[in-house]
């Protein structure tokens, strides 16, 4: 699939009513008490366009390509299906290398009121505190880039629908979706940080240790009791804590990592599907193929043909 051309969000209702007044970052704003949804469109090539928000913002690409320049980070391509969380008052500098009238660049920026963010993080820190983490749940404190998973895409799509619908109860609807979106984004960020900070984190955080333990043993059966023992927790407490922190059950996480490994092997080797299935911990080839298709939208053979030059 060509991610540069595909759009994960339906903005047809917005397009039918918005006014084009600028060729670069034409902005349409939809506002409720707790948030503001901004949809931007750019119709010709531009560089170093500056943008800041007074609240933490989730920016998500809809169509086309941007090159983002954020503080303390190298420039990166920003494509449909991707998002970035940016703190309040942080300057973004944006390039539009491919924008033109027939193929405008489209992006949304969801600015979330700081009080709303604090309400959600306080609730999580009270009811589902992070294990082995003194800072607790945080949102919008640092830049964070992510590839949207399906739940996050669905929530953003729902917010677009709510904000652009003329419904008197849209504040109520939007607040419910905003709360879930902030929680899922924080879970995604927590999961990413625990998995990318290396052995140092695993030595002081039990869930980071378990995640790395899982990745070292993907080729064999893994049971909740074994993982709970690695975390020095009871099975119920481990299961609950893992799901609250990662946003996935341990089984879902294991399957996700196995499919990720399978994707890598399909891209980089000529090994047969049966061997790859066993290497990734699937004893049943039919189940492996079913799960791969569910996660990737393609069969393993189709995936290999697509990614092989």
Q: What is the mean pLDDT of the chain?
A: 92
Q: For the chain, list the domains and their CATH numbers.
A: 12-193 (2.60.120.280), 198-309 (1.10.10.60)
CA atoms of 302 and 111, how far apart (whole Å) = 39
Strand-pairing partners, residue 92, are 51
Tell me what pLDDT residue 3 has: 40
Segment 263-289 mean pLDDT: 95
Helix (H, G, I), strand (E, B) or coil at 301: helix
Helix (H) or strand (E) holding 265: helix 250-268
Tokens of 219: 């080729």
Residue with tokens 């931007």: 40
pTM reported for the whole predicted model: 0.84
Give the DSSP letter string of 133-146.
Answer: -SS---SSSS-EEE
Taking residues 275-300, report their average pLDDT. Answer: 94
Q: Two tokens at 113?
A: 């009121």
Query: What letters, b where the CB count within 10 A reaches 16 and e where it falls short, cover 97-122?
Result: eebeeeebbbbbbbbbbeebbebbbe
pLDDT digits (tens, 9 = 90+) for 139-179: 988 999 999 998 999 999 999 999 999 899 999 999 999 99
Q: Report the pLDDT value the prediction gives residue 200, as an integer from 0 to 100.
A: 61
Cβ(121)–Cβ(65) below 8 Å: no
Q: How far apart are CA 130 and CA 136, in angstroms?
A: 6
> DSSP assignment, residue 52?
-
Residue 198 neighbours by CB distance under 10 Å: 10
Tell me the C-alpha distance between 18 and 151, whole Å: 27
SS (H, E, C) 157-189: HHHHHHHHCCCCCHHHHHHHHHHHHHHHHHHHH
pLDDT tens per residue across span 117-150: 999 999 999 999 998 888 899 998 899 999 999 8
Residue where the block lists tokens 């027939």 = 102
Euclidean distance between CA atoms 162 and 157, whole angstroms: 9
Q: Give the CB-side neighbour count of residue 45, counting CA atoms within 13 A.
A: 2
The pLDDT > 90 percentage for the chain reads: 81
Q: Are 1 and 144 in contact (CB under 8 A)?
A: no
3 state DSSP class of 62: strand
Report the C-alpha gap between 300 and 304 in whole angstroms: 6
Alpha-carbon Rg of the chain, whole angstroms? Answer: 21
Rounded to whole angstroms, the Cα distance separating 205 from 158 reads 35
- Residue 199, pLDDT > 60, answer no
The one-character DSSP state at 197 is: S
pLDDT of residue 297: 87
How many Å apart are CA 35 and CA 119, to the nearest integer?
Answer: 13
Q: Find the DSSP H helices in 91-143.
A: 114-127
pLDDT tens column, 70-111: 988 899 999 999 999 999 999 999 999 999 988 899 999 999
């Amino acid at each position: 699939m060509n991610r540069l051309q595909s759009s994960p969000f339906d903005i047809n209702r917005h397009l039918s009513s918005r006014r084009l007044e600028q060729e670069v970052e034409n902005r349409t704003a939809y506002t409720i008490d707790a948030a503001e949804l901004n949809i931007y469109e750019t119709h010709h090539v531009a560089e170093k366009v500056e943008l800041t928000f007074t609240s933490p913002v989730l920016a998500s690409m809809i169509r086309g390509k941007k090159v983002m320049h954020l503080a303390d980070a190298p420039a990166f391509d920003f494509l449909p299906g991707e998002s970035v969380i940016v703190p309040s008052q942080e300057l973004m500098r944006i390039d539009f290398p491919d924008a033109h009238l027939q193929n405008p660049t489209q992006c949304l920026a969801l600015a979330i009121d700081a009080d709303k963010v604090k309400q959600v993080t306080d609730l999580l820190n009270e009811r589902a505190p992070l294990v082995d983490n003194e800072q607790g749940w945080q949102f919008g404190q640092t830049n964070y880039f992510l590839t949207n998973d399906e739940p996050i895409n669905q929530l953003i799509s729902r917010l677009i629908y709510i904000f652009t619908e003329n419904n008197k109860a849209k504040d109520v609807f939007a607040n419910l979706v905003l709360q879930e979106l902030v929680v899922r984004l924080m879970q995604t960020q927590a999961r990413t940080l625990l998995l990318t900070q290396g052995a140092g984190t695993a030595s002081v955080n039990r869930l980071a240790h378990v995640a790395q333990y899982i990745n070292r043993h993907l080729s064999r059966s893994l049971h909740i009791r074994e993982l709970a023992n690695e975390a020095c927790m009871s099975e119920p407490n481990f299961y609950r804590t893992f799901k609250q922190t990662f946003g996935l059950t341990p089984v879902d996480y294991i399957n996700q990592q196995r499919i990720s490994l399978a994707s890598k092997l399909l891209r980089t080797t000529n090994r047969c599907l049966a061997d790859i299935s066993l290497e990734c911990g699937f004893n049943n080839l039919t189940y492996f193929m079913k799960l791969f298709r569910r996660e990737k939208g393609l069969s393993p053979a189709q995936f290999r043909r697509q990614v092989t030059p």
